[in-house]
Homo-oligomer: A and B are copies of this chain.
Amino acid sequence: MGDADTTSQKKNDLPLTYADYLKLQELLKCQRMSSAMHGPPVHDEHLFIVTHQAYELWFKQILFEVDSVRELFRSLVLDESKTLSILNRLNRVVLIFKLLVDQFQIIETMTPLDFLEFRNHLATASGFQSLQFRLIENMLGLQEDQRVKYNQQHYMKVFNDPESIQLLKDSLIRPSLFSLVEKWLERTPGLQVNEFNFWPKYQKAVSIYLNENFLFPAQKETDTKQNETMMAEYQKMMDTFQSVFNPETHQTFLDRGERRLSHKAFQGLLMISLYRDEPRFNQPFQLLTLLMDIESLMTKWRYNHVQMVQRMIGGKVGTGGSSGYQYLRSTISDRYKVFLDLFNLSTFLIPRKYIPPLTISMKRTLSVLSNEQNATSDDEACNEEENEHPPRPNGEQEKENVLFA
């Protein structure tokens, strides 16, 4: 923590100790072993408690960060100086989740036989009742209808106190990170018809890509069997891309829960991914990557959790009729991936040489050049819309201008 240069403060405040500040008195009183209340304490219960408390502490921090990111997102239209904070905080969540994944190693030093010694004292208490974990899921944007039921029971049923129930309800009413990201993606510059008009350009590019790499080679193939295989493959590729070209098909996927983002947002996602090297897309791309990292780690957390539960209780059938292990396994499927479309995005990427070139105007929109030089470029680029941007700006001229970058 370091020593503060705080001579000036000393007068005003009562001397604050490290223990006061961190409320250690209270914090370190929260480890009450249930076994000790029924007989001799079971050594490993202490680890069990501390591990879960550490999880909950960090869950609180994750909620704090994600919640603040949501707030920053909402103000983003008004205040561009929040971008760095958003990235930093999401990155922090990534690091916390990494730690939480690693933390399973520690609890796994407890053996099933040890767990059995105090497990009956836990009675009905179950990790299924972690309010904060449910709040994280909801805040990120897990949809209610994607959840798997546990013992035919809605997850909210396990909470009795009004406060918890209210918090859960609020978490569903307030815009999730997912929905904020979706809206933001829909605003991606370049999607508008009167702008760069990305979508038809992308469709055309896909068409050329598929022709050159699948259709033409297939047509040239003389061996009948081979030709058939190749044509089938081409058709399959076509179908895949059609599913995203066609808004109705996209909607079908949405309805089935196999996609999540609106058609417009999906376009924005693709646009940013393809043009991520343009300065103004750099940070949006970093943000998307962080969201994927978070979700990927959350999924790994679930997977590690499943493994640990299998070790601890095996396939033992739970009280309500279904096994905890089976339930947990079902939560590591793609159903629980809020940002599923980011993971599946690569399906729709095309090699760089097929990516539609930016117009000069669009290139400029996505740059961070200062006014003066943009003004200059304006002059030279009169009928820009039709011109492709040259591969690299004229160095000589801009040397002075892009003084920093």
Nearest CB of B to A145, in Å: 21
**Is A248 in the interface zone, CB < 8 Å from B?**
no
Chain A 215-256, CB-CB to B under 8 Å as 1, else 0, gives 001100000000001100100110010000000000000000
A188 to B278, Cβ gap below 8 A?
Answer: no
A319 to B3, Cβ gap below 8 A?
Answer: yes
A139 to B382, CA, bound (A): 44
Chain B residues with CB under 8 Å of A303's CB are: 300, 303
**Is A197 in the interface zone, CB < 8 Å from B?**
no
Chain A 32-72, CB-CB to B under 8 Å as 1, else 0, gives 10100000000100111110111011101100110010000
Nearest CB of B to A167, in Å: 12
Which among A172-180, A199-207, A366-374 touches the partner chain?
A366-374
Chain A residues bordering chain B, tally (CB within 8 A): 171
B319 to A116, Cβ gap below 8 A?
Answer: no
Chain A 361-405, CB-CB to B under 8 Å as 1, else 0, gives 000110111110011001000000000000011010011001111
Interface centre among A4, A49, A164, A233 (most CB of B within 10 A): A4
**Is A131 in the interface zone, CB < 8 Å from B?**
yes
A237 to B5, Cβ gap below 8 A?
Answer: yes
- Given A16-B123, A314-B343, A349-B113, is A80 in contact with B405 using a C-beta cutoff of 8 Å? yes
A217 to B7, Cβ gap below 8 A?
Answer: yes
List A residues 114-130 near B (Cβ within 8 Å).
115-117, 119-130
User: A-side binding surface: helix, strand, loop or mixed?
Assistant: helix
Chain A 3-16, CB-CB to B under 8 Å as 1, else 0, gives 11111111101011
**Is A267 in the interface zone, CB < 8 Å from B?**
no
What is the copy number of this chain in the assembly? 4
**Is A193 in the interface zone, CB < 8 Å from B?**
no
Chain B residues with CB under 8 Å of A79's CB are: 392-393, 395
A159 to B49, CA, bound (A): 28
A18 to B127, Cβ gap below 8 A?
Answer: yes
A6: which of B17, B54, B307, B319 is its contact (CB, 8 Å)?
B319
Chain B residues with CB under 8 Å of A162's CB are: none
B403 to A217, Cβ gap below 8 A?
Answer: no
B307 to A160, Cβ gap below 8 A?
Answer: no
Chain B residues with CB under 8 Å of A285's CB are: 84
A124 to B16, Cβ gap below 8 A?
Answer: yes
A307 to B337, CA, bound (A): 12
A81 to B363, CA, bound (A): 10
Chain B residues with CB under 8 Å of A375's CB are: 371
Nearest CB of B to A342, in Å: 8
A115 to B4, CA, bound (A): 10
**Is A76 in the interface zone, CB < 8 Å from B?**
yes
B54 to A58, Cβ gap below 8 A?
Answer: yes
B103 to A5, Cβ gap below 8 A?
Answer: no
**Is A157 in the interface zone, CB < 8 Å from B?**
no
**Nearest B residue (CB) for A91:** B109
**Nearest B residue (CB) for A296:** B307
A276 to B213, CA, bound (A): 46
A8: which of B5, B120, B187, B317 is its contact (CB, 8 Å)?
B120
**Is A299 in the interface zone, CB < 8 Å from B?**
yes
A258 to B313, CA, bound (A): 16
A405 to B346, Cβ gap below 8 A?
Answer: no
Chain A to chain B contacts (Cβ below 8 Å), 16 pairs = A5-B213, A5-B317, A7-B213, A11-B217, A17-B160, A21-B125, A22-B56, A26-B30, A50-B58, A53-B57, A83-B405, A113-B346, A113-B349, A116-B351, A184-B404, A314-B347
5 closest Cβ pairs, A-B complex: A112-B346, A314-B347, A1-B127, A3-B318, A18-B129
